[in-house]
Structure 1
Amino acid sequence: MLKFWCFFLLLHLLIQQLDANPGLKVRITQKGLDYGREMGMEILKQRIKEESFPDWSGQEKSGFGDVDYTISGLRVSTIEFPDASISLIPGIGIELSTQQAYAILNANWSIRTWLFKDSGRSTVSVSGVFITAVFTMSQDSTGHLSMSLDSCRMSIKGVEVQLNGKISWLYKFFTKYLEKPIHRNLDKHSCPNIRQGIQQIDAQLTTLQVPTQIDAFTQIDYSLVNFPGVFKSYIDLDLKGAIYPVGNWTDPSFVPAPFTFPDKSDSMLYLGISEYFFKYASLAYYTAGAFNITIVEELSSYFNVTTETFGSIIPEIAQCYVEVRPTLLNLMASAAPVVSLQTDTFSLEIPASMEVLAVLPDSTTQLMFTVNIIANTSVSLTIFEQKLIGSLCLNRFQLSLDDSSVGFFEVSLLENFLSYVLRNGVIPAANAKLKNGFPLPNLDHITLLRPVIKVNQGYLLISTDINYIL
């Protein structure tokens, strides 16, 4: 019976993991894959031209006896993939193919026969290169995206060697004995070289910072929660997208709701950010105490807030503090801000309390009163330097008196003053912190190009092209 319940529990946990909803979803479209193919081919051509190939020697049989040869210093001077294409195999991975690739290589050569021996430079033309490679994507044990080569086929239609030397007319007879080993070696090593390149890409993927620190308060988890989804015209990556207080990786009680992308393919990349992501952020920043501020410096450029300032609004304070004293305004979030994403509207409802204290001659403070505030703000979003940056705008707020050492008074007397404090002290201070932004998942050398942000019901959609800087 115990074994049965253990099995049932493990099965339940597995089903939960398989059904995990992402906080962030990334979609790479065919347009993005085509751009990736163009950039990838340029990078591949550049690396092939920079690569040094091993020397090799051998022996070929001829009607005139054995031909000993050595090929050294092989370098690629020209390589093109004029018809390269990339396509998706649903449920499997990515297929890269080309049928008419060609290359021109330069090399040193030497030949020894019973008749003569000589050496020099050669030009090797390789044409009709056919390559089909299938790459699969998966998820490793740490939540990183992983790539591997599933299959590879290659064939070469023709290899032509031109030997440069003093008796070139004689060399033409022997070129076929060099073409055969060059053809054989290219066929033998090309797919292993492609596999090695994919292994290098996979190694780079494992270095991506899945847990990433955002600022002094929070950290974010970009690990995959599901295996990559490969479909006919796009690839979907489901990321956890959870934000935690620094040093605390405990998940909250709520779970993300599923969301789906609209049927669009105009952009190379779509990034969906669920309402859950922002709820996680709200709770993490609240837990870390990021919303607690003392409003002094923020208002000092406008005016000095003193007991006289409040006494002109609330007569009870003027009676208690005849001598003018400086005041402190401590604003503290009383709960995590409530996040709401509706069509074309992103809003935050921020519950807080504000303590107003008088600073006494001995530098101690004395509480005058505490008010509860519920502020409703709208959020506008921009993307700058690969970060999502928010900016708050105060729409309205509600006040209620929580505690008072100067007696009861109508909080309506404070509405105009606190409106000024919120708009000119609190909101600018919050926006200054928000300028740090949330780092969006990205790879080195890739920048977002003309991103467009759209607020939908329950999630945020970023549509963007990308630019790879070589």
Structure 2
Amino acid sequence: MTRVWGLGLLLALLLPLVGTSMPGTVVRLNKAALSYVSEIGKAPLQRALQVTLPYLLDQSGETLQPTRIQIMNVHVPRLRLNFVADFGVHLLAAANFNFKVFRVPEPLELMLPVVLLADAHVAQGPIQTPVVSISACYSLFGNASVPAGSNSTSPALLVLLQKHIKAVLSNKLCLSVSNLVQGLNVHLGTLIGLKPVGPESQIRYSLVNVPTITNDYISLDINAVLFLLGKPIVLPVDTTPFALPHHAGTQGTVATVGLSQDLFDSALLLLQKAGALNLDITGQLNSDDNLLNTSALGRLIPEVARQFPKPMPVVLKVRLGATPVATLHTKNATLQLQPFIEVLAVASNSAFQSLFSLDVVVNLSLQLSVYKVKLQGTASVLGDVQVTVASSNVGTIDMDQVHTLIGTVFEKPLLDHLNALLGIGIALPNVVNLHYTSAKVFVYEGYAVVSSGLSYQH
């Protein structure tokens, strides 16, 4: 992986992921990404360029004397990357090679400047991942020199050494770059791996068309498929392709990730089908402030007091029959839940007895954030919880009185449960070891945008 980290990382961070499918995600990497990649890429590129050189066969007198030449270190003071429209990425690296020539009686030190130029083409691979290939690579060599204070050497020997080194490096340096790119393609293959969403659910991203590359950014279209028990989640209505507007997000950010309405709809449909939003709310019977018992309900509903003269536990079975609805407006994300609540009491024989059932509508404000590679959320109740009686086995119910009680015992457990689920989050498009950093989430009409930096953790 060390060698893959070389040019591989340089290009991998340029190709993380994007989408414009159904449901769609769009990621743009702007020029700011190139500055970040250039800085962190110098050290791994230096290691990758430290290749092995064959012995120099130097004829001295009537015999051939093999001379060992070793690269002691490579320093890359300059690394520049540019997008090439409709093609990929151009790399220019200025490197200083320091050699040690093991001559008798004393070793010789040499310095040789090299400029490395490479063009990397970005395409769509057969397994729906980005594929990078080196289409052109050149090494431009300067003149070798002896460091100040070192032993002098004859110009003829210097020319001989330089000729040998150039002949070897002109092939080996570009081969090293190509090897790094091959390792990179393995790394980019992790894009299509399944990422867990819950105990029985996953999400998988895949590239759906050829990357879009301009002189200012690179963008990849990625399809997101959510799975529950191995089966894909399919939206009940046809979706439309998602295109990320140019103005979205923060100006000059490293990565801009667009998340379509369809992605939110798919995630909520997954939660609903998995039953993840269902819960049972109970209370401690002996607790002084427990409102979930027949005594508390009996003070509001006489028939409950008549049927249960002794306090018995009450359970709220909250079931989500309808799919939650997320609405994205500019600077405002909301979530609506329509749970069905069945109010049950434990009878003397420990069997559950249905008292009444309620149709509930809860509107919530949704705050979005990003941690590492996951989009997370936090919800809070907006306005009043709407409660109506669906059925009753305890006669007429005065909802003005029961409403306050139900709201008190229902809202907090629901929020705790929902926020625990939203806190788990859903993985954004990513490859192994690549994280989003200092991310800000903006909400627009029909989509959300993550403006973020990137961090590769080797």
TM-score category of the 2 structures, normalised to the smaller one = 0.7 to 0.9
Q: Given that residues 96 and 111 in structure 2 are in contact (C-alpha distance below 8 angstroms), is that contact kept between their aligned partners in structure 1?
A: yes
Q: Given that residues 369 and 404 in structure 1 are in contact (C-alpha distance below 8 angstroms), is that contact kept between their aligned partners in structure 2?
A: yes
Over residues 393-446 of structure 1, what are the superposed CA-to-partner deviations in whole Å (9 max), with x where a residue is unaligned?
111332222222222324333211122123222112211222212233344554
Q: What SS is found at the alignment partner of 2:184?
A: helix
Q: Given that residues 201 and 229 in structure 2 are in contact (C-alpha distance below 8 angstroms), is that contact kept between their aligned partners in structure 1?
A: yes
Alpha-carbon distance in 1 for matches of 2:164, 2:186: 33
Alpha-carbon distance in 2 for matches of 1:431, 1:162: 64
Q: What SS is found at the alignment partner of 1:223?
A: strand
Deviation at 1:266, TM superposition (A): 1.5
Alpha-carbon distance in 2 for matches of 1:91, 1:311: 73
Indicate the structure (1 or 2) with the bigger Cα radius of gyration. 1
| 1:301–1:156 distance in 2 versus 1, CA, 3 Å | farther
Deviation at 1:146, TM superposition (A): 2.0
What amino acid is the match of 1:305? L
Query: Which residue of structure 2 aligns with residue 203 of structure 1?
Result: 186
Deviation at 1:281, TM superposition (A): 0.5
Greater mean alpha carbon deviation, residues 144-153 or residues 444-453: 444-453
1:294 to 273, 280, 283: 280
Q: What SS is found at the alignment partner of 1:240?
A: strand
Greater mean alpha carbon deviation, residues 292-301 or residues 277-286: 292-301
Query: Which residue of structure 2 aligns with residue 222 of structure 1?
Result: 205
Q: What SS is found at the alignment partner of 1:33?
A: helix
Alignment TM-score, normalising by the size of structure 2:
0.86
CA RMSD in angstroms, aligned pairs only: 2.9
Alpha-carbon distance in 2 for matches of 1:172, 1:162: 14
Query: Which residue of structure 1 aligns with residue 133 of structure 2?
Result: 148
1:466 aligns with 2:450: no
1:452 to 416, 426, 440: 440
Deviation at 1:227, TM superposition (A): 2.0
Query: Which residue of structure 1 aligns with residue 217 of structure 2?
Result: 234
Query: Which residue of structure 2 aligns with residue 273 of structure 1?
Result: 259
Extract unaligned runs of 5+ from structure 2.
1-18
Alpha-carbon distance in 2 for matches of 1:301, 1:214: 39
Give runs of aligned pairs for residues 25-424 of structure 1, distance below 5 A. Answer: 25-48=26-49, 51=50, 53-59=52-58, 68-72=65-69, 74-82=70-78, 84-98=79-93, 101-110=94-103, 118=104, 120-127=106-113, 129-160=114-145, 173-208=156-191, 210-254=193-237, 255-263=239-247, 265-296=251-282, 303-395=290-382, 396-424=384-412
Q: What SS is found at the alignment partner of 1:415?
A: helix
Alpha-carbon distance in 1 for matches of 2:339, 2:95: 68
What amino acid is the match of 1:365? F
Query: Which residue of structure 1 aligns with residue 24 of structure 2?
Result: 23
Count of aligned pairs between the two proteins = 435
| 1:208–1:122 distance in 2 versus 1, CA, 3 Å | farther
What amino acid is the match of 1:211? L
Q: Given that residues 93 and 230 in structure 1 are in contact (C-alpha distance below 8 angstroms), is that contact kept between their aligned partners in structure 2?
A: yes
Greater mean alpha carbon deviation, residues 420-429 or residues 333-342: 420-429
Deviation at 1:357, TM superposition (A): 0.6
Alpha-carbon distance in 2 for matches of 1:428, 1:267: 34
Alpha-carbon distance in 2 for matches of 1:297, 1:308: 13
What amino acid is the match of 2:38? R
| 1:469–1:20 distance in 2 versus 1, CA, 3 Å | closer
| 1:170–1:313 distance in 2 versus 1, CA, 3 Å | closer
Alpha-carbon distance in 2 for matches of 1:380, 1:169: 69
| 1:253–1:403 distance in 2 versus 1, CA, 3 Å | same
Alpha-carbon distance in 1 for matches of 2:288, 2:205: 41
| 1:276–1:170 distance in 2 versus 1, CA, 3 Å | closer
Alpha-carbon distance in 2 for matches of 1:221, 1:256: 19
Greater mean alpha carbon deviation, residues 372-381 or residues 444-453: 444-453
Alignment TM-score, normalising by the size of structure 1:
0.84
Alpha-carbon distance in 1 for matches of 2:152, 2:235: 81
Q: What SS is found at the alignment partner of 2:424?
A: coil
Q: Given that residues 162 and 175 in structure 1 are in contact (C-alpha distance below 8 angstroms), is that contact kept between their aligned partners in structure 2?
A: no
Alpha-carbon distance in 2 for matches of 1:186, 1:313: 88
Over residues 232-279 of structure 1, what are the superposed CA-to-partner deviations in whole Å (9 max), with x where a residue is unaligned?
201112222333323222533332542323336411111111111110
